[in-house]
């Protein structure tokens, strides 16, 4: 194999001709691809090569010879160091177009489907201060507790007091917890030595209810100065309704352990999506952008084409958010989730809202759905909202076998959505259209809702 035309440390001038799905600009030197963070298609930049692999390299911009009209000045003072946002340097209009192109590219490349109608991305009027959940690692620097986000590509924590995509009340609570931890002399976890106590600070906010949960993640079963910590949080943060001690003694990068101790207050907080109230516990999956969650779920409802009589199956129901949002418009809703605790939360949420025409069951959807089919359950609509890895083929086969009229697929990863769309296409299912929704402004991520129709019945 020939030697790459550039080496680490070398400076070259290139034109940025494309953009990766992580938001990096793409340029080439003699056909060799360079990924360049914070560069935009159409720009001509002088870059310094920092990494070279067999087929690609990475470079950083040293100067601009030509700037894109889509470039804006990032308002965040630590944007160039923090790895939380990737595309603050793009105007919001350009961010939305980038995300639409990302979805279209995945469908053309992976699914080999160039005819799919992909709508413009539904964005936000104010694409800032939207996150209802903060989870920040902590460290100690020169005797001071710091908390923030990891610098891109490292485990070095960039201290911050304000994150422009976090809700301000989350920032204020994180600042207060840092202050209290310092006053109480809590030791801070060191991931290299696995010594020290406090690992992460997590804050969850119910935007509609103004209720907050504080979770202290520690490398130990006991919290020194527990009473003092709790009193300080109570007195300084009146909106806090729940204080939880989470124990994580594992030597890994997983943020939360399995064991929770309620230190004070309720074991959950509440929030609302549309008319539906949800109880949120420490481990509950709950979308982090409440404003856009309503946009997303309303799109699901539209694609489901509910008239009030349909049977619906939600195959990744979590704590019941989509299932209960659709219940008002459906005849009966079934929810499946592999995490038993989430199913218990879903049942509580159904009871909380007085919704009786739902049934939630713990298990793998690809195993539960055939059982339901044998019992004579015949849904008109199936909804899936899988993790980033997409749906297992066994689940898609179970859906095909069940043969509902419509499938609504919610995806946080366009590449696995495209892969699964191709699989369904081979089974005779027809994708009608895709509606991307910007759940994570200032980042490269995009959520999609895809609408499929069953093969024509003979």
CATH numeric code, 11-66? 2.40.50.140
> What 3-state class would DSSP assign to 98?
helix
| Arithmetic mean of pLDDT, 197-226 | 97
pLDDT in tens, 65-76: 999 999 999 999
Owner of token pair 């360049």: 36
The pLDDT of residue 458 is 42
Residue 399 backbone phi and psi in degrees, to 5: -65, -45
The 3-state secondary structure of 335-357, one letter per residue? EEECCHHHHHHHHHHHHHCCCCC
Query: In the predicted model, is pLDDT for residue 397 greater than 70?
Result: yes
| Arithmetic mean of pLDDT, 401-421 | 97
Class of domain 104-124+289-453 (CATH, top level) = alpha beta
Name the more confident of 456 and 366: 366
The pLDDT of residue 274 is 95
| Arithmetic mean of pLDDT, 298-307 | 98
pLDDT in tens, 107-127: 999 999 999 999 999 999 999
Q: Is 209 exposed, middle or buried (0-12, 13-18, 19+ CB in 10 A)?
A: middle
Residue ranges per structural domain of the chain: 11-66, 104-124+289-453, 133-273
| pLDDT tier, 142 (very low <50, low <70, confident <90, very high otherwise) | confident
| pLDDT tier, 154 (very low <50, low <70, confident <90, very high otherwise) | confident
The pLDDT of residue 149 is 86
| pLDDT tier, 1 (very low <50, low <70, confident <90, very high otherwise) | low
Point out the least confidently predicted range of 150-159, 292-301, 438-447.
Answer: 150-159
Query: In the predicted model, is pLDDT for residue 451 greater than 80?
Result: yes
Query: In the predicted model, is pLDDT for residue 333 greater than 60?
Result: yes
User: HSE-up of 185 (CA within 13 Å, CB side)?
Assistant: 2
The pLDDT of residue 334 is 98
- CATH number for 133-273: choose from 3.40.50.300, 2.40.50.1070, 3.90.1150.10, 2.170.120.12: 2.40.50.1070
Count how many residues are written for the chain: 458
| Arithmetic mean of pLDDT, 277-287 | 96
Query: In the predicted model, is pLDDT for residue 15 greater than 90?
Result: yes
The pLDDT of residue 261 is 98
290, 321 in Cβ contact below 8 A? no
d(CA 47, CA 60): 5
Owner of token pair 């192109």: 101
130, 168 in Cβ contact below 8 A? no
Q: Do the two domains 11-66 and 133-273 of this chain adopt the same fold?
A: yes
404, 380 in Cβ contact below 8 A? yes
The pLDDT of residue 153 is 74
The pLDDT of residue 253 is 87
Point out the least confidently predicted range of 33-42, 137-146, 147-156, 324-333.
Answer: 147-156
Q: Which of 76, 317, 391, 412 is catalytic?
A: 412
Residue 188 backbone phi and psi in degrees, to 5: -110, 135
pTM for this prediction: 0.94
d(CA 257, CA 405): 41
> What 3-state class would DSSP assign to 95?
helix
Tokens of 440: 């994570």
DSSP state at residue 48: E
Average pLDDT along the chain = 95
- The reply to whether 456 belongs to the active site is no
Query: In the predicted model, is pLDDT for residue 258 greater than 80?
Result: yes
């Amino acid at each position: 194999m020939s030697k790459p035309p550039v080496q680490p440390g070398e400076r070259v001038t290139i034109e940025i001709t494309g953009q990766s799905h992580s938001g990096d600009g793409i340029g080439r030197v003699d056909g060799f691809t360079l990924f360049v963070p914070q560069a935009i298609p159409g720009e001509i930049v002088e870059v310094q090569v920092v990494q070279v692999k067999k087929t690609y390299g990475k470079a950083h911009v040293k100067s601009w010879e030509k700037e894109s009209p889509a470039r804006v000045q990032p308002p965040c003072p630590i944007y160039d160091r923090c790895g939380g946002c990737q595309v603050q340097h793009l105007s919001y209009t350009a961010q939305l177009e980038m995300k639409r192109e990302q979805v279209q590219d995945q469908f053309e490349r992976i699914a080999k489907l160039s005819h799919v109608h992909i709508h413009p991305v539904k964005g936000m009027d104010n694409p800032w201060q939207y996150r209802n959940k903060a989870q920040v690692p902590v460290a100690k620097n020169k005797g001071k507790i710091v908390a923030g986000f990891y610098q891109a590509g490292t485990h070095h924590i960039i201290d911050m007091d304000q994150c422009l995509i976090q809700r301000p009340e989350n920032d204020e609570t994180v600042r207060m917890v840092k202050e209290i931890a310092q006053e109480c002399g809590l030791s801070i976890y060191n991931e290299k030595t696995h010594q020290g106590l406090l690992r992460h600070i997590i804050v969850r906010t119910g935007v509609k209810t103004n209720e907050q949960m504080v979770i202290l993640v520690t490398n130990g079963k006991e919290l020194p100065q527990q009473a003092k910590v709790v009193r300080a949080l109570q007195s300084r943060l009146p909106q806090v309704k729940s204080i939880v001690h989470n124990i994580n003694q594992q030597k890994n990068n997983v943020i939360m352990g399995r064991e929770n101790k309620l230190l004070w207050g309720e074991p959950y907080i509440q929030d609302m999506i549309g008319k539906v109230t949800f109880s949120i516990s420490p481990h509950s999956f709950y979308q982090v952008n409440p404003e856009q969650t309503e946009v997303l779920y309303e799109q699901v409802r539209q694609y489901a084409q509910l008239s009030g009589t349909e049977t619906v199956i939600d195959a990744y129901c979590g704590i019941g958010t989509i299932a209960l949002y659709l219940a008002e418009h459906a005849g009966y809703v079934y929810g499946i989730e592999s995490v038993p605790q989430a199913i218990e939360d879903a049942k509580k949420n159904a009871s909380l809202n007085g919704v009786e025409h739902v049934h939630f069951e713990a298990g793998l959807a690809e195993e539960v759905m055939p059982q339901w089919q044998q019992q004579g359950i015949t849904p008109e609509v199936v909804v899936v909202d899988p993790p980033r890895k997409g749906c297992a083929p066994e689940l898609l086969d179970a859906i095909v076998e069940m043969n509902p009229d419509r499938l609504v697929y919610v995806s946080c990863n366009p590449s696995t959505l495209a892969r699964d769309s191709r699989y369904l296409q081979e089974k005779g299912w027809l994708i009608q259209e895709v509606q991307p929704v910007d759940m994570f402004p200032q980042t490269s991520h995009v959520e999609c809702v895809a609408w499929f129709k069953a093969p024509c019945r003979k």
